[in-house]
Amino acid sequence: MKVNLTEGKENIVDLEIIIPAKDAAEAYNRAVNKISQHVNIDGFRKGKAPRAIIEKRVGTERIKVEAIETLMPSAISNAIKENNLDVITQPSITSYDFELGKDLSVKVRVEIRPEVTLGEYKGLNLKVEDSPIPADAEKKSLDNLLNQHATFELVVDRPAKDTDIAVIDFEGFSNGEKIVGGDGKNYSLDLGNSNFIPGFAEQIVGKNVNDEFEINVTFPKEYHDEKLKGQPAVFKIKINELKERVLPELNDEFAQKVGPFKTVDDLKADINKYLESQHERTNKQNTENEVFKAVIDAAKVEIPQSMISREIESLKADYQQRLAYQGIDWETLVKSQGGVDHLEETLTEDAKARIKNSLVIDKIAKAEDIKLEPKDLEKKFAELAALYGMQQQDVLKEIGHNPNALGSLSQQALNDKVRDFLLENNNVEIVQPKVEVK
């Protein structure tokens, strides 16, 4: 076998693989025999018809294609290894010249990994601002806990307050037409924490049980429904019930109810322990991000458009799947965000960033001989099992049915090892945040 290599633009390499005439003829004859096993020809048992009859029945081109499909996987693999090509896409046959008695010439196109030029990625001295625990963090945590254990009492002798729960019937109209999905019966609306249209909950405050009235609102300009975006609307409201949130008393009895605590001080100590662990995790994450950003920014790589296009399609597929889970229509969302061109422009930047990150990580892994070990994947399997509440062996079975999932998981595990390496080999100082002078 002989290989002629031609480098093209954007990391494209064309290979001309030349198979000796003898090997090509043998592959052709094997293809004839294989095809003959599946062709019914009067007067002959399957597999016994002469070559000339098979050629006449199915055509020599089909036989040649069968021969090439048999020969080329190993031939292409050997050509890639011999030329030390780092191929990132499935090779494709672009043409062939197959004449019996002569050498077979097959032209194959492959795309190779772009060359990455690393900048400084070890021994960096960086500073990261501390993410201090807010002064009111303990109080907010206690308030949230009290709210989670609140009880609700019916209100009958006063108007609605902005801390109440209003049980309402509502029906919405915009430009004289009923709003699709803009109605509800006995809907419990938290007047102090509403995710309805701005101004909706506020206009219920001050009203009484059994009141029937109308409120006027305007849909936000960035609203997901193009027809309603920025449009005025009228909602007919009836208040069926008002409920007042009654918080429990913060005492030792409450502390004992919500956890393994004897006193309120024990509860507060546990909250502060959690807040401190969150503080440490946030600082670690910010440190990782700062180091990785510095390394990525210092690296240089020309990303071919073909890689960007594939990554955009992958991002779109992921995006569509997430939206489907949320019950959001893809076409509607695209329109609300400025159309396909605008969305793809946004995705292009995300695609470039993801590709560069991946290429730089792989380059550092090779430069530092960072390799995956069985324990690295086992750690990822355990994380997935914990995330989805599954047994680890069940996770392995699921991944076994999806080779792409295993590849993705392996890449994540390698990313983690490279990030750990970067943290260990760079110096990061946590500094106090800058105080803004007004």
Backbone angles phi, psi at 179, to 5 degrees: -80, 125
The amino acid present at 30, given as its one-letter code, is R
Q: Would you give per-residue pLDDT tens digits along the chain (438 residues)?
A: 899 999 888 899 999 999 999 999 999 999 999 988 888 887 787 778 888 988 888 899 999 999 999 999 999 999 999 999 999 889 999 999 999 999 999 999 999 999 999 999 999 999 999 999 999 999 999 999 999 999 999 998 999 999 999 999 999 999 989 998 899 999 999 999 898 999 999 999 999 999 999 999 999 988 878 789 899 999 999 999 999 999 999 999 999 999 999 999 999 999 999 999 999 999 999 999 999 999 999 999 999 999 999 898 888 888 787 777 777 777 766 766 666 677 778 889 899 999 999 999 999 999 999 998 989 888 888 888 888 888 888 878 877 777 677 878 888 899 999 999 999 999 999 999 887 665
Residues 15, 98 contacting (CB under 8 angstroms): no
Only one residue has tokens 């392996």, namely 410
Q: How far is CA 409 from CA 24, 387, 415, in A?
A: 41, 14, 10
User: Could you give the domains of the chain?
Assistant: 2-113 (3.30.70.1050), 151-246 (3.10.50.40), 264-431 (1.10.3120.10)
Cα separation, 51 vs 28, in Å, equals 10
Q: What pLDDT shows up at residue 39?
A: 83
Q: Which pLDDT score, from 0 to 100, does residue 337 have?
A: 62
- Predicted confidence at residue 286, as pLDDT, reads 94
pLDDT recorded at residue 315: 86
- Residue 323 contacts by C-beta under 8 Å, 6 or more apart in sequence? 329, 330, 333
CA separation (Å) from 109 to 88, 147, 182, 352? 12, 63, 55, 23
pLDDT at 438: 58
H or E element that contains 206 = none
Which of 248, 244, 233, 155 lies closest to 197 in space, CA to CA?
A: 233
Say which residues have a Cβ less than 8 Å from residue 69's Cβ, sequence separation at least 6.
none
Q: What is the pTM of this model?
A: 0.71
**How far apart (Å, rounded) are the C-alpha atoms in residues 49 and 62?**
17
